[in-house]
Structure 1
Amino acid sequence: MRCRPLLALLATAILALAGVQPAAAAPRVKDIVDVQNVRSNQLVGYGLVVGLAGTGDKTRNSPFTEETLQAMLERMGVNVRDVQMKPANVAAVSVTATMPAFARAGSTIDVQVSALGDSTSLQGGTLLVSSLRALDGQIYAVAQGPLAVSGFKATGAGASVSRGVATSARIAGGAIVEREVPFVLRSSTSLKLALKNPDFTTARHIATAINGRYAGTATVLDPGTVEIAPAASFKGDVVDLLGEVENLPIVVDQVARIVINEASGTVVMSADVRISPVAIAQGGLTITINETPVASQPAPLSDGQTAVLPRTKIAVDDGGGASLAMVGGGASLQSLVSGLNTLGVSPRDLITILQAVKTAGALQAEIEVQ
């Protein structure tokens, strides 16, 4: 009988200890900001995958595959304009990649390959050399190599099995950078730190931490931007300054927010969620219907026939056992969840209750429905 109170006490103690974290666990500046102009670039290209085991595009449904193959062969000196081609082992694909900041010519990056036509699988294929362009139309990388497909699909006469996506693949280090994005960080006289989650308090904490190390260096421009300009006493350049300040621990503040995904029934609440005094009752109407038909036999030597008679049992639960829970003012996330769990609330019921409490004006947090 004392097991449940003991477990509840133990859970409370664990939560209390979890709230006490060492200073080293605080996020660093580099974890919560992005540096201006230090960004990756998206690349996209078009190419052909060859070597497929009969799972390539059908030229009747994907004529661009045949046209691309003809153009490639003509560039290699093979004339196939008057030949009707039906390549079953070739597929047209899109090639995408992300070139990180400061990528230098000759370095390699990963590429993602996806089928464009009606190819059923890219398993065992090899991507032929494909140029990757940015939005400015310039070629920044060239990709080629064997594909690594995580999914598969097998089909028989009466059954089929599939796992993952067989028409999407990846090539680790499959592209070589040919053109660099011009940006010289050392010559910058000042830089701006863009907060990933803009907040006035967090921006002030970042500026305070940086100025505590290098006085007069950081200035808060807005909730999402902190500008860094080396002071006259600083000996070095902006790169040295960033290397020093990016490891400073910062106390991150956040808006009380509840994120709800109604499709999956997922509810995520930040630790700063507070509610005003409110009473919550949870209950529902449940109707259970069980059908147990029975057979009725006619009397011996009679002309009657066997009949099946329905037997229905209906049970109604109107939630009369549900109780009313009182949540005190300024309740924390822990007390709110504990109180709702006491009522036996499911995740989907929790979504409805939180929305109702917000409508009543007792929930001091933002609700974001995905």
Structure 2
Amino acid sequence: MTVKKIIAVIVFVLLAPGVFAERIKDIAEVAGVRPNQLIGYGLVVGLDGTGDQTTQSPFTTQSFNNMLKQFGITLPEGTRMQMKNVAAVMIQAELPAFAKPGQKLDVTVNSVSNAKSLRGGSLLMSELKGIDGNTYAVAQGSLVVGGFGAQGSDGSSITVNIPSVGRIPGGAFVERVVPNNFANGQPIVFNLHHPDFTTSNRVAKAINDMLGPEVAMPMDAVSVRVTAPVNPAHRVDFLALLENIEVQPGDEPARVVINSRTGTIVVGEHVRVSPVAITHGSLTVSISEDYDVSQPNPFGRGETVVTPNSEVDIEEELNPMFKFSPGATLEDIVRSINDVGASPADLMAILEALKQSGALKADLMVI
């Protein structure tokens, strides 16, 4: 028997506990200090005939007419415009925490109608609003489009990337400050990126070891509250000190993650298997159909007939049974599965069967 190669990409996490320390700024964030999403609507002009087909997107015409009225231009009633050089777009941006008026933001512009491409276009001045409806930035500028398309007279076409999406680096200016409670004199709260009671306790202990007892207190698996100075300038110095304190995060829970689309399997370090025996085999049934011609002897009275001839072959791989001893480790699992040989589907089936039998001491996640 030849051992099959494992086609699936198997990533094994082999981090030894307590070896790597991380800064608090890498594993947590300050409560209330976060970016905010902005959105806006506008018009892109200057396109080379690749804009919206106005017969199918009346809101583009309406938006353009409303803009002209702001400049005192009123079109005669019933005027029909073919604005192939104009496209209606939605605009996205992210407003960082503590952003001040006059600072620049990068914006992403997306066509919302049937424009073929935004290449070469310029966004007209557009407001960017927050969830509260207030305007926090204003965007305008020339688009950078990474995709393009071409079409022949016979109807053939080719498209590279997405030509209906573009970006404007530094294309928006901040107009309003988002208030936050950083300078209100309240205690600073760190929220962990990954909830873990052990890590929360270690963060509080590391802060107290440096600054004294009862400065930090873990609130739950996510939050750690730290008593901070009231003066805003002192709070900045204080936070700069805290975020660079190194902490050893708690060990991740035992977990096996399977990506059924790509065949990727991630096995955590603390995965264990109870005593169990597994067989891995494959039964192959092959059926072939053939036909024979039966003829009578020369000058005989019989008739020529066609008779079917079927062959059935059964082939079974003689893969051995392998056994996991008590407390089998990740290394044992890897060695055993490699020895028996398995395809991606076989590996997933083995892990799922281990979980159902209760032998796999880990969470099994299929994504």
Q: TM-score range by the shorter chain?
A: 0.7 to 0.9
2:45 matched to 1:46?
no
Cα distance in 1 for partners of 2:80, 2:289 equals 65
Partner of 1:4: none
From the superposition, tell whether residues 164 and 333 of structure 1 become closer, same or farther in structure 2 (CA, over 3 Å): farther
SS class of match (1:78):
coil
Cα 1:346–1:251 change in 2 (3 A) is farther
Give 1:108's aligned residue. Answer: 104
- Match in the other structure for 2:297: none
CA 1:327–1:231 in 2, change beyond 3 Å: closer, same or farther? farther
Task: State the shift of 1:224 in Å.
Answer: 1.0
Number of positions where the alignment pairs a residue of Structure 1 with one of Structure 2:
339
When structure 1 is superposed on structure 2, of 352-361 and 146-155 the one drifting more is: 146-155
Quick one: distance in 1 between partners of 2:91 and 2:364? 38
Give the % identical residues: 41
| Partner amino acid, structure 1, of 2:259 | N
Structure 1 partner of 2:219: 221
Structure 1 residues 207 and 73, CA gap change in structure 2 (3 angstroms): same
Q: Is 2:52 aligned against 1:57? A: yes
User: For the residues of structure 2 that align with 1:188 and 1:97, how far apart are their CA atoms?
Assistant: 30
TM-score, length basis structure 2: 0.83
- Name the CA shift for 1:172/1:317 in 2 (closer, same or farther; >3 Å): farther
Deviations 1:23-47 (A, max 9, x none): 6x52211111121100110100001
SS in 1 for 2:59: helix
Q: After superposition, what is the alpha-carbon deviation per residue over 1:220-247, rounded to whole angstroms, capped at 9, x for unaligned?
A: 1111111111389x99733222211211
> Does structure 1 conserve the Cα–Cα contact (< 8 Å) formed by 2:185 and 2:228?
no
The unaligned stretches of length 5 or more in structure 1 are 1-14, 294-309
Unmatched tracts of structure 2, length 5 or more: 1-11, 292-307
| Distance (Å, rounded) in 2 between the aligned partners of 1:238 and 1:291 | 83
Q: Give the residue type in structure 1 aligned to 2:338.
A: N
For residues 344 and 80 of structure 1, the distance between their equivalents in structure 2, rounded to whole angstroms, comes to 75
| 1:205-244 equivalent positions in 2, closer than 5 A | 205-215=202-212, 216-230=214-228, 237-244=234-241
What is the aligned-residue RMSD (CA, Å)? 3.1
Matched, 1:27 2:22: yes
Q: What TM-score do you get using the length of structure 1 for normalisation? A: 0.83
Find 2:331's aligned residue among 334, 337, 341. Answer: 334
Find the counterpart in structure 1 of residue 301 from structure 2: none
Structure 2 equivalent of residue 76 of structure 1: 71
Distance 1:160 1:21, change over 3 A: farther
- Find the partner of 1:145 among 141, 157, 164: 141
Distance in structure 2 (CA, Å) of the matches to 1:201 and 1:227? 15
Match of 1:270, as an amino acid?
G
Deviation at 1:174, TM superposition (A): 1.1
1:267 aligns with 2:262: no
Higher relative contact order (Cα pairs below 8 Å, separated by 6+ residues):
2
User: Contact conserved, 1:185 with 1:239, CA < 8 A, in 2?
Assistant: no
